[in-house]
Structures are given as C-alpha cells and as structure tokens.
Structure 1
Amino acid sequence: MRRILFWFLLGGLLGTGGGFALGVFFFPYIFPPPVANQQVADRAAQTVLGTGTFVHADPSDPIHWGRGSVSVLRDAAGGRIVYLEKDFEVGPGPDYRVYLVAHPAPRAKDDVRAAFIDLGGLAAFKGSQIYAIPEGVDLAAQGSVVIWCRAFAQLISPATIARVP
C-alpha cells in the first residue's frame, strides 16, 4: 500500500511540475501579446545615430529567430531611443528583453553576457516599439541591439548597429 501511495504522489508531483514547465514554455505561443504599433513622434525631427537589421543568430535553431530593422535615434531635446521598426518580428518565447550590447556582432550567449544594458521587456513579438536609452550610456561603446530571453539565458536575435555619419 505504501508503495502505491509513493508512486501516486511521485507521479502527481512530476506531472504537476512537468505541466507547469510546459505551460510556461507554451504560454507565449498560445496567448501572444498583440502586435505593437508605437510610433516615434515627429520622425523628421529625429536624428538617426545608427541602424541595423536583426538576424537569425543560429540558423540551425528553428525556435530562436528574429528579423526586421532597428534604428537608434536622438530627438531635438537630446533624448535617445532604440526604435524597433514596423517590420520587426521574433519567434515567441518567455521573458524577452531588449539589450544594448558592446559586442559588435554577437552570435553566442557569451558575447552578450560579458557586457549589456537592459532597456526593458519586449512589448510584443511583432511590430514597432520604442525603448529609451538611459542617460550616461556611451553609444560609441555599444555595437548592437539584442533580443535576449532572460528566463533561459538564450540569444534570440542580434542586430549590429551601423553608425550613421
């Protein structure tokens, strides 16, 4: 009788833990956030500091991918932003963050872990989005914008920033 109770409790614990883990993994696929459509106010008044294109960091990985354009802009008041353009899209997942990374072309996790600035959580898997760059950040020392999965420490998609003269 004790043996049956042991296996019953063990199965219940493993089933609950496995179900929770699968729920965390599949939640973004089942209930994705709506497409973002944030617009930069008065785009003509913005100075383009740099541009880039998100790439598939590891083509052998069909789950972690990204594409689309990104711009680094400065407004008339001197504020700086990272603007994910309307063609931006990444494969869904949990706890995605937008990072500024010193490495100019990160393709591995260690390229990102060395030095990054967290700009905040990704608002949507698709569409235009705005992220403020904190004051005091030296943009010359930042080589790329990266979409990073904090929950699994996974590089999703990097974009090397080409400076605009």
Structure 2
Amino acid sequence: MRWIRGFLVGGLLGTLFGLALGLFLFPYIFPPPEARETLSRSESGKLVAKGSFIQPNPNDPVHYGKGTVSVYPSTVFLGEDFEVGPGPDFHVYLVPKAEIRSSSDVTDTMYVDLGRLRAFKGSQNYAIPAGVDLAKFPSLVIWCQQFSVLISPADLTFEQGS
C-alpha cells in the first residue's frame, strides 16, 4: 500500500515538473518567426527619441538584448537589428526613470505597457497611447511579466526640439 502512495506521489510530482519545464523551454524550442514590420508614413512622423538595447548584466547569458529603438509621436519602432533572448510573457514598457539596470528599477515605477513582445528578433511597431508625455519616459525596456525580470533596457536620447 505504501509503495502505491509513493508511486502516485512520484507520478504527480514528475508530471508537474515536466509541465513546468515544458512551459519554460517552449519559447526556446519553438520561437516565433522573426518580425519584419515597417513604419508607414503616418506612423513615423518626426523622430522624438532613439536608443540602443543593452544587456544589463553581462554575467547573465539568458537575459540579453541588442539593437536599436526609435520613438515617434505615436509609435515605438524596434529596428531590424533588434534581438532578445527568448522567454515567456515579454512586454515592451516605457519607464519614467533613466538608466534602468535592474529589475527593482522597474518594479518601483509607474510604467506604460505598450503590449506583448511579438517576436524575439526583427523590426516591430508598438502604438503609444494618446496623452503619454514622451519627455517623461527616458527608458524603454523589455520586461518578463511572468517572472518580473528585466530582460533588456534602452536609454532614450531625445532629439533637439522635441
């Protein structure tokens, strides 16, 4: 009788562990295709700011990012060279704090969520909600909502006259 209980508990724990491992590994095994979005004339308008994604912790091979970002009055555009390490539930945030380098820099602020990241690589557009004062958001970050982890920040440099 005791071995049956052990067998059932072991089977349940093995199933739960396998499910958790599968959910974690899914984006690595089956990543979405590379994005190839472009800016239309109406979306582009005047360039407000630009920046480059960095790897906040060089010792962390999983959470990285690279590539450029351009901010227009109503659109954030991740450039063709954009890339982040795969993972679950990544979002694009505008953050009202400069020089984001750790997860605690984001969790202590009131960010603007521009939506879920559609691809780990390639050019993508994200609409900026009406009424957002871009001058108050010197950073754009890729954030893992599921685990509350900073993936990659970009410090924005504002254009003259913006």
TM-score bracket for the superposition, by shorter chain length: over 0.9
Offset of 1:19 from its aligned partner? 0.5
Counterparts in 2 of 1:38-49, with a 5 A limit?
38-42=37-41, 46-49=45-48
Provide, for residues 122-159 of structure 1, a one-character-per-residue CA deviation record: whole Å limited to 9, x for no partner. 00000000000001111111111100001111100000
| Structure 2 unaligned regions, length at least 5 | none
| Structure 1 unaligned regions, length at least 5 | 75-79
Offset of 1:17 from its aligned partner? 0.8
Provide, for residues 70-93 of structure 1, a one-character-per-residue CA deviation record: whole Å limited to 9, x for no partner. 00013xxxxx11100000000000
| TM-score, normalised by the number of residues in structure 1 | 0.93
Residue 77 of structure 1: aligned partner: none
Residue 68 of structure 2: aligned partner: 69
**For the Cα contact (< 8 Å) 2:80–2:122, is it kept in 1?**
yes
Residue 155 of structure 2: aligned partner: 160
| TM-score, normalised by the number of residues in structure 2 | 0.95
Residue 23 of structure 2: aligned partner: 24
Provide, for residues 91-128 of structure 1, a one-character-per-residue CA deviation record: whole Å limited to 9, x for no partner. 00000000000111111111111221100000000000
Deviates more, 1:137-146 or 1:38-47: 38-47
Structure 1 residues 39 and 5: alpha-carbon distance in aligned structure 2, compared to 1, 3 A threshold? same
Residue 128 of structure 2: aligned partner: 133
1:105 paired with 2:99, answer yes
Deviates more, 1:5-14 or 1:63-72: 5-14
When the two structures are aligned, how many residues end up with a matched partner?
A: 159
**For the Cα contact (< 8 Å) 2:52–2:67, is it kept in 1?**
yes
Partner SS for 1:128: strand
Residue 81 of structure 2: aligned partner: 87
CA RMSD of aligned residues (A): 1.3
